[in-house]
Structure 1
Amino acid sequence: MRSTEEFAWVTLTTNDNYGLGALVLAHSLKRAGTAHQLAVLVTPTVSEAMRDRLKDVYNVVQEVNVLDSQDAANLALLARPELGVTFTKLHCWRLVQFEKCVFLDADTLVLKNCDELFEREELSAAPDVSWPDCFNSGVFVFTPSVDTFTKITEFAVQNGSFDGGDQGLLNQYFGDWATADIKKHLPFVYNVTAYASYCYLPAFKQFRDMIKILHFAGKLKPWLIQFNSQTKTAATPNEYAHAQDLIQHWWTIFCDNVHQSLTDNMITITITITIPITR
């Protein structure tokens, strides 16, 4: 495998709440013993205080604008404002200081070392649980390239996204993923959805020890779950009872590695509103 400086794990945060997810994600990667760089894209809505915390654990913290910058690609998207959030994620292809990257949504949690993903080619991803002939864009291997960024952006302007987000767009652009090369199909254990519907709950229980990356896709994020700071336990909803220990793991990393680095003001802004924590 190449020099660790040539490879990077990449995530994106658009506000301070997702910043909490990005911080826990970074520490989960470090706990798993990754040898590679960490990079996070931030939008102008992320506070300076949160950026400072991100700089403590990420090698690269890079601001990206959704529609405000004056480059041609952004200006083209002014005609399609609904693609703004989607476009932000596409900025990951601009990290050309790296040879290869793996994108992780900020609501993922790395449970085991996954550095072997950098042996995969673009665009490698795991099937989406709701439609396995599409990949889930919460975890994917890509090769940074300004040319690719431009092509995907132009494609977005011309074709939009069938689901209004980055997943629909990327599945349209990399439209042969399901059929062209099985080597680009990551095992599901690299992107397991925390919410296990009845159709795969037995499999979740059977293969849970093999899970490498857990994805808190959907509305319920770990940082929105009530947490008792005295007992150090998360009030896991019944529909997530099967993943209670994994949600607890997210909070353990938060308590051990993140909480003490936050200022009182940051805790008030980002946590107390939705997560009652006593000090």
Structure 2
Amino acid sequence: LGQDTEAFVTLATTESYCIGAKVVGKSLRRHGTTRDIVILVTPNISQRTRLALQSIFDKVILVDLMDSKDPDHLALTGRPELGITFTKIRCWTLTQYSKCVFLDADTLVLCNVDELFERDELSAASDPGWPDCFNSGVFVFNPSLQTHAMLMDHAIKQGSFDGGDQGLLNSFFSNWSVEDIRKHLPFIYNLTVSSVYTYLPAFKHFGHEAKIVHFLGAVKPWNLPKEGILQLASVDNTHYLAILSFSESLFYRCVYVFIIEGYLPGGHLPFEKEQMEHRRRWEMGEMDYMGRDAFQNIQKMLDRFLD
């Protein structure tokens, strides 16, 4: 079987996620993948948007929307909108391909990752929230109508323990954590934003090896308020958006990296030496509590971000 029987696949169920999906497609293309790049879209995506996606993706495929309609389990995640992620199981219907790699629309490919096609179904990286579960933002699978039918049956009879696709897929592929270590992708293939602050020493040590970044959570790089954008940078001649933002906790920090090509106004600005030094000191725990990092200054940024 040749490379033309393999594809990267992403999914857009809202107009907003189409922005992220475009970045997924462009980042794969930028880094020279030899595989097809496919996007599944639901009927609520406008014809205009679908035409725009055709300039990036090899195939734009319309699929029916699926919703778990499970508010009780979704309430545990605090993300009631994730019920429609059940639509993700439609990717098993792409039987024109022998093997695919699924990438959530809120991921960013940092280099060529075609080696993922050497993995078997179901290969994925551990979820940082519960490492015996895999994170369903990046996974390798084999399209199959039989598997799709079994997943549909499982969705109807068993449902999902989190109300979304991740709970469903982990329940269906329940032996993932113990079956075959070769199906455990290294974390660098699904580096979630949360890793930046939960284990900063490891991030500083291994972060430079990251291959795919995943922007988990309700706040996405493409819908952050302008106040949250601190600087635009040029890294190795590739334009990235680096965003440092705060949420409910004053010292709860996320670093976003996002390709800006075509999705944000303006060009790029270099990192100022003083800003880089401030970031380094922050990461080392050397905050300027009496000056720039004083409580009232952080509170102002927090209030702008939450508004």
- d(CA) in 1 for partners of 2:85 and 2:264? 31
Matched with 1:29 is: 28
Matched with 1:270 is: none
Matched with 2:255 is: 243
Post-superposition Cα deviations, 1:245-274, rounded to whole Å, max 9, x if no partner, equal: x2xx42246459xxxxxxxxxxxxxxxxxx
How far apart are 1:241 and its partner, in Å? 5.8
Cα contact 1:225–1:236 (8 A) shared by 2: no
How far apart are 1:205 and its partner, in Å? 1.9
- d(CA) in 1 for partners of 2:41 and 2:261? 25
- d(CA) in 1 for partners of 2:169 and 2:104? 14
Counterparts in 2 of 1:181 and 1:18: CA distance versus 1, 3 Å: same
Which consecutive unaligned segments of at least 5 residues does structure 1 have?
68-76, 257-279
Cα contact 2:14–2:45 (8 A) shared by 1: yes
Matched with 1:259 is: none
Matched with 2:148 is: 149
Q: Which amino acid aligns with 2:244?
A: T
Counterparts in 2 of 1:84 and 1:203: CA distance versus 1, 3 Å: closer
* SS of residue paired to 2:8: strand
Matched with 2:206 is: 207
How far apart are 1:214 and its partner, in Å? 0.2
- d(CA) in 2 for partners of 1:57 and 1:97? 20
Please identify the structure whose Cα radius of gyration is greater.
Answer: 2
- d(CA) in 2 for partners of 1:40 and 1:124? 20
- d(CA) in 1 for partners of 2:243 and 2:208? 22
The structure 1 segments of at least 4 consecutive aligned residues displaced by more than 6 Å after TM superposition are none
* SS of residue paired to 1:204: helix
> How many residues are matched?
240
Q: Which amino acid aligns with 1:236?
A: L
- d(CA) in 2 for partners of 1:242 and 1:32? 25
How far apart are 1:242 and its partner, in Å? 6.1
Post-superposition Cα deviations, 1:152-189, rounded to whole Å, max 9, x if no partner, equal: 11011111111111000100100000001001000000
TM-score w.r.t. length of structure 1: 0.79
* SS of residue paired to 1:134: strand
Structure having greater relative contact order (Cα 8 Å, sep ≥ 6): 1
What percent of counterpart residues are identical?
A: 48
Cα contact 1:28–1:253 (8 A) shared by 2: no
Matched with 1:175 is: 174
- d(CA) in 1 for partners of 2:69 and 2:264? 38
Which consecutive unaligned segments of at least 5 residues does structure 2 have?
71-81, 233-240, 266-307
Counterparts in 2 of 1:139 and 1:253: CA distance versus 1, 3 Å: farther
Q: Which amino acid aligns with 1:119?
A: E
